[in-house]
Amino acid sequence: MAEALVGGSFLSAFLQVLFDRMASPQVWGFFKGQKLDDGLLKDLKATMRSVNKLLNDAEEKQIADSEVKDWLDDLKDAVYEADDFFDEIAYEAMRLEVEAGSRTSTDQGVIFLSSFSPFNKVKEKMVAKLEEISRTLERLLKRNGVLGLKEVIGQKESTQKLPTTSLTEDSFFYGREDDQETIVKLLLSPDANGKTVGAIPIVGMGGVGKTTLSQFVLNDSRVQKGFDLKAWVCVSVDFDVHKLTKDILMEVGSQNCDAKTLNGLHQELEEKLKGKKVLLVLDDVWSSDQSRWDFLLKPFKSVAEGSKLIVTTRNENIVPAMHRAIPRNQNKESSPCPISIHRLMGLTEDICWILFKEHAFNGEDPREHPDLQGISRQIASKCKGLPLAAKTLGRLLCFERNAEKWEEILKSHIWESPNDEIIPALQLSYYYLPPHLKRCFAFCSIYPKDYRFLKEDLVRLWLAEGLVQPKGCKEIVKLGEEYFDDLLSRSLFQRSRCNESVFVMHDLINDLAKVVSGEFSFTLVGNYSSKISGRVRHLSFSTTAYDALDKFEGIDKAQVLRTFLPFSHRRSSRVDSKLQHDLLPTFMRLRVLSLAPYQNVVQLHDSIGRLKHLRYLDLTATSLKKLPEFVCSLYNLQTLLLDSCMCLVELPNSIGNLKNLLFLRLHWTAIQSLPESIVNLSNLHTLVLSECKNLTELPTNMGKLTKLERLTDFFVGKQSGSGIEDLGKLQNLQGELRIWNLQNVFPSQDGETAKLLDKQRVKELELRWAGDTEDSQHERRVLEKLKPHKDVKRLSIIGFGGTRFPDWVGSSSFPKIVFLKLKGCNYCTSLPPLGQLVSLKELRIEAFDLIDVVFPELFGNGESKIRILSFEDMKEWREWNSDGVTFPLLQLLQIRRCPELRGALPGHLPALEELCIDRCPLLMASLPRAPTIRQMELFDTSRSVQLTKYQSGMLSLMVQKFHSQNSPLQGIEHIGVSTTLDKIEVHCCDSLKLFQPKSFPNLEILHIWDSPHLESLVDLNTSSLSISSLHIQSLSFPNLSELCVGHCSKLKSLPQGMHSLLPSLESSAAVLFWKRGVKRRKGKIGPRFLTSPT
């Protein structure tokens, strides 16, 4: 049985945690203070050591012997009970220490403990509990007489950390070239089956590489060019149409669709897809529910022909339902031919061995290890052609060069396991994990399949569950991060396709975690809570728009629950109030509690204040206005998450009592000030204050938080103890850091006391001044001393009041800076030379009131490596002198609100993709040569601007408030731009009189607003047009999906042909016809004219 793998060394690591607890001063103090016989504690230790010696043999035998497995489960239950008992003792010691009002020695604490009457009242109960635990362990030990377990000293697991590998994921794509080519050809071929969308199901067993193959297909350059829109969505077991529709929308460019109903999502998606050639990949599909398929694919009826759907699945039975749901082409008869299925088989034995050895030998030549080469082929053959098995098992062996160990794995009885639920290679990868990693990996069973998670989130949960224990002087958070990296290097985690900082578990790895967790972990799917076991310690579930109490029916059986963790793909949900009032108070052993993102949680039930074991409290996106005082009695609390609590204005004054707090997040709250006691959080590791708009100062003596490693925002105060020297005391800061109110650095102070030069791990630095400067020389001296470490990557200087920058700004001593922003430096008369910043990719210059010329020195002579360049709000800027400078890599150029800028832009921008000129009325008569440009926005200019053949690849053009006699649209059809443009927006364009739609055969979206002199939209091949009309019959817009015309006073009517041109407008009302002084009207487009009232 695969689930048998959970025992043995897993429990050995757990028992070691208990041994450490029993040796703690709090436990010995309890026994001494209560005048208990410490022989009871010694006997318990002896029993636990005897049990511990049996664990290795039990781990071997449990696979074939169900009684041994039951024995291990009972033992795990008993160990959990003991862990909770000793944790409660530690909590009581902390409580009494805090309530005493001062830190005391162990002996003083013992005296106080023994005399504290409320504690004496529970003395007998606690002693009875300890005796019960001892009796349970003794009974388990006696059962060995029947089981026949032998004492074994030593462990099979390797505790060596895996080495890193130089191989990328691309290196692991072996033996699938023919499959890739076959599917790409199917994608690019026309369909003849009468369907609007062609479907390609990829069917194969788990771990065979369906997801990887589809990823390589999607990234194929031919596929990238062959489709207008591409979307990748992981479906998994829970076929949630609402969630999947949102995911597809996000993939095709929608920004925020959280609050929309399914109908609203469908309408938006249909508009996004209309007329587009779309490729949709649905990965890991299980459901054959016809109604769900019908709802999911309903918006795809508007896509262009040639659109395709790829589905990866283990379940071939889903194919008929999918095929029936695909929208039909109304102009063709459906073909009776069955859909073609691409069945993905396992790798050949030779290819599988190549993949295995790449991981197992970590890039070394196997011939350097002749004693391992033959064994490696035999092990690879046992992987049965499954890439996941070969990769995972290879990573297990990559640090091991002992042939005996390889032989042991080759001959392991696990290969013969009758259980086919988990691939044997994956079972082995878990079996040989070090004990501490087994516990961490098993906990990951709380994640739903295909759930995306962050490293820091999982490490916080591990810490809360006690799965990471201090080792020597190593900081516990770093230790947790090392555990994570180790599991990642063993391929038990993998990076997300879209974001390298996001991780996921392969669904088979997720299955493995759930199996080894057994009854102790439960993921609630649908309404199956009745199946929950009384052993369950960890509960997770997916939220819905509203979680009623009956969703949790049966969960009250789990009285010993440690984890209550909702997962949500929504920004907000609602929950039955009885969850807090009736259900949660029954779970008094919780260590992890999340109420995120339940928006209707406006206050916390006071029972939460009695959760003695609680270490992790997530209240993200709730509607709390004030955190209650009783939270400060949660003395074990390590993590407090309050992000996006938009109503939260206040923290309790006694928050400093939370001596064990490591993580405090207040991102995007309404907090106005922090309690003074926060500086007593001596173990605080992370304090996130980003986007706290109402926060302008910090408590005094923040320098006491010497263990702080992440502080997003530091506010320099005016009073003693809140100055910049306190920042200098925080020597371990890393990541991002914003320093506010630098105008408060007194002349007698020195910016050097911030010690930024020593903060090597700060990679993003923002320096901010506020208000008008009173002493420019002083501010320059301050900035001079705020020189960061050379490894900084992103630097922003905002509101600086000096007349010129110190020499370090732009110095070659910063070889890693990729982003630089200079803003609101109103007294600067020159910009710093930046040509020596060899890695600079993005430069933003904003609001310099005294700069009138930008000289070549800003970029350095020769070729600039900048890819993004932006100038904004430069009131006096008149000239851009770029002599001797070229921009061969520049992709985005923005110039906004520079009213005095004259002349032209740099003449040749060969890589430019996007250009935005906004409210620069005196700038340029001609545009730069930009053959790769795709998007252009021209706002509020009075100069004549002519497009040329050098902008002929453009896809999107926006013109707004263009007052010149010559519009950029005039003559556009002669230069080739018209053949590529698919979107045109014209707003407030006085000069536009004539628009010729025939010149834009690929046009999909046309917006025209407030263009009072527009007289006609004209087809040049038709001579019978009347002025002030739109003639539609002879115009050809095969891809047009949206047309908006508004505030065009001379345009009198929309003609009959509009309905046939845009048939969906009858339901969507996408044509809006306005006239000045007339209330906006939305109407159906019928067979006759839609005429505005006169």
- pLDDT per residue as tens digits for the range 900-931: 999 888 989 999 999 999 999 888 767 788 88
The residue among 466 and 527 whose pLDDT is bigger is 466
Q: What is the pLDDT of residues 92-108, one digit of tens each?
A: 888 888 887 754 444 44
Q: What is the pLDDT of residues 161-194, one digit of tens each?
A: 555 443 445 445 788 999 999 999 999 987 645 5
How many angstroms from the chain centroid is the CA of residue 314?
Answer: 27
Cis before 597? omega within 30? yes
Least confident segment among 53-57, 138-142, 916-920? 53-57
Between 985 and 1083, the more confident residue is: 985
Per residue in 281-300, pLDDT tens?
999 999 999 999 999 999 99
DSSP-based three-state secondary structure for 896? strand
Q: What is the mean pLDDT of residues 1060-1069?
A: 42
* pLDDT above 70 (res 448): yes
- The confidence score (pLDDT) of residue 190 equals 77
CA atoms of 911 and 763, how far apart (whole Å): 28
* Percentage of the residues of the chain whose pLDDT score is greater than 70: 82
Q: Give the pLDDT confidence score for residue 35 in this predicted structure.
A: 63
- State residue 198's pLDDT score: 87
Q: How confident is the model at residue 1016 (pLDDT cuts 50, 70, 90)?
A: low
H or E stretch at 798: strand 794-798
> pLDDT at position 23, please?
84
615 and 639 in contact (C-beta within 8 Å)?
yes
Q: How many CB atoms lie within 10 A of CB 805?
A: 20
CA distance 117 to 478: 41
- 1079 has a pLDDT exceeding 50: no
User: What span, in angstroms and rounded, lies between the C-alpha atoms of 578 and 539?
Assistant: 18
Dist CA 1042 CA 1062 (whole Å): 8
Mean pLDDT score of the chain, rounded to an integer? 84
- Cα–Cα distance, 235 to 415 (Å, whole number): 31
Contacts of 249 (CB under 8 A, 6+ apart): 257, 265, 268, 269, 272
Bridge partner residues of 737 (DSSP): 765
More confident residue, 112 or 315: 315
Q: Which of 348, 343, 248, 363 is nearest to 296 (CA)?
A: 248
- The answer on pLDDT for 1066 being more than 50 is no
Supply the pLDDT for residue 950: 63
Angle at CA of residue 607, ends 602 and 612, nearest 5° = 125
Paired sense of beta strands 819-823 and 842-846, if any: parallel
Answer whether 44's CB lies under 8 Å from 22's CB: yes
519 or 525, which is more confident: 519
Task: Please report, to the nearest 10 degrees, the dihedral formed by the alpha carbons of residues 658, 659, 662, 663 taken in order.
Answer: 20
The whole-number pLDDT of residue 71 equals 93
pLDDT at 302: 84
Any residues with CB less than 8 A from the CB of 779 and at least 6 apart, and which?
A: 742, 743, 769, 773, 800, 801, 802
Cβ contacts of residue 612 below 8 Å, gap of 6+?
87, 88, 91, 92, 588, 636
Q: Can you say whether residue 847 is alpha, beta or left, with left for phi > 0 and alpha for psi between -120 and 50 degrees?
A: left
Average pLDDT over residues 798-815: 96
Question: 1015 and 1028 in contact (C-beta within 8 Å)?
Answer: yes
Scanning 770-880, the segments in alpha helix (DSSP H) are: 776-785
Mean pLDDT of 673-694: 97
Top-level class of domain 176-343? alpha beta
Q: Which two tokens stand for residue 275?
A: 């007329």
Residue 959 and residue 935 in contact, taking contact as beta carbons nearer than 8 Å: no
More reliable by pLDDT, 52 or 961 = 52
Parse the chain into domains and list their residue ranges. 2-147, 176-343
Residue 147 has pLDDT above 80, yes or no: yes
Q: What is the pLDDT of residues 371-382, one digit of tens each?
A: 998 899 999 999
DSSP assignments along 516-568, one per residue: HHGGGEEEE-SS-GGG--TT--EEEEE--SEE-GGGGTTGGG-TT--EEEEE-
Q: What is the average per-residue pLDDT within 804-814? A: 95
Q: What is the pLDDT of residue 925?
A: 63
CA end-to-end span of the chain = 82
195 burial level (CB within 10 Å; 0-12, 13-18, 19+): buried
Q: What is the pLDDT of residue 36?
A: 64
Cα separation, 992 vs 689, in Å, equals 49
